[in-house]
């Protein structure tokens, strides 16, 4: 005769699920974190007493955007330190380079998918990081972004109903229209019919 209970332990029936405070289910991990951990990204985090900063291993102007900016963009959805700091700061610093437009336009089709993933995230911090990158990207690539705009507008449209983000999102949409030229407005209106340029 078997001594195993067909319904499991009585405690499982009384309290089937409890919250594990040490669970990592909400933490997202990407290829970026693996590559960074193995030294594959040419920068490292410098811990300061008040602020952290990135130290690049070579002149930042010489860092190729393909593959490094693409990897950093994939890291935007990371939820663990130091990956969040490294990816978000790395993207910002690379986009601040004087020749960023020349380096960005050929790889736009590679950076749009990870940017869309960040904008689609339910995690507010990840969404805000994606929105910040979009705001930085638009003035650099201007109308070159128009061909890639539709997939980015879908997650923005979903967030427009949230009062915390309405002002920011309308400002971003206005900036996209200003930087993209007249052909941008119909694209935005196709996803967000209530948009009216100022």
Rounded to whole angstroms, how far apart are CA atoms 138 and 54? Answer: 24
Model-wide pTM > 0.75: yes
Residue with the bigger pLDDT between 195 and 25: it is: 195
C-alpha 142/C-alpha 154 separation (Å) is 19
87 contact partners, CB below 8 Å, separation of at least 6: 32, 72, 73, 74, 75, 76, 78
DSSP letter at 90 equals H
Give the pLDDT band of residue 24 (cuts 50, 70, 90).
Answer: low
**């693409």: which residue's tokens?**
70
pLDDT tens readout for residues 117-139: 999 999 999 999 999 999 999 99
pLDDT one-digit tens code per residue, 49-93? 788 999 999 999 999 999 999 999 999 999 998 999 999 999 999
- Output Rg (C-alpha) for the chain, integer angstroms: 21
| Element spanning 11, H or E | helix 10-14
């Amino acid at each position: 005769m078997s001594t195993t209970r067909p319904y499991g332990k009585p405690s499982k029936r009384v309290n089937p699920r409890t919250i594990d405070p040490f669970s990592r289910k909400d933490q997202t991990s990407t290829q970026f974190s693996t590559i960074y951990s193995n030294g594959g990204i040419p920068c490292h985090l410098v811990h300061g007493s008040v602020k952290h900063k990135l130290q690049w291993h070579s002149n930042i102007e010489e860092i190729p955007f393909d593959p490094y900016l693409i990897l950093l963009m994939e890291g935007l959805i990371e939820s663990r330190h130091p990956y969040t700091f490294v990816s978000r700061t790395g993207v910002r610093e690379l986009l601040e380079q004087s020749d960023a437009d020349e380096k960005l336009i050929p790889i736009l089709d590679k950076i749009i998918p990870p940017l869309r993933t960040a904008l689609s995230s339910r995690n507010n911090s990840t969404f805000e990081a994606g929105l910040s990158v979009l705001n930085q990207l638009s003035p650099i690539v201007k109308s070159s972004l128009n061909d890639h705009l539709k997939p980015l507008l879908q997650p923005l449209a979903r967030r427009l109903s949230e009062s915390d983000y309405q002002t920011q999102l309308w400002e971003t949409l206005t900036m996209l229209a200003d930087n993209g030229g007249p052909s941008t407005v119909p694209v935005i209106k196709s996803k967000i019919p209530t948009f009216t340029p100022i």
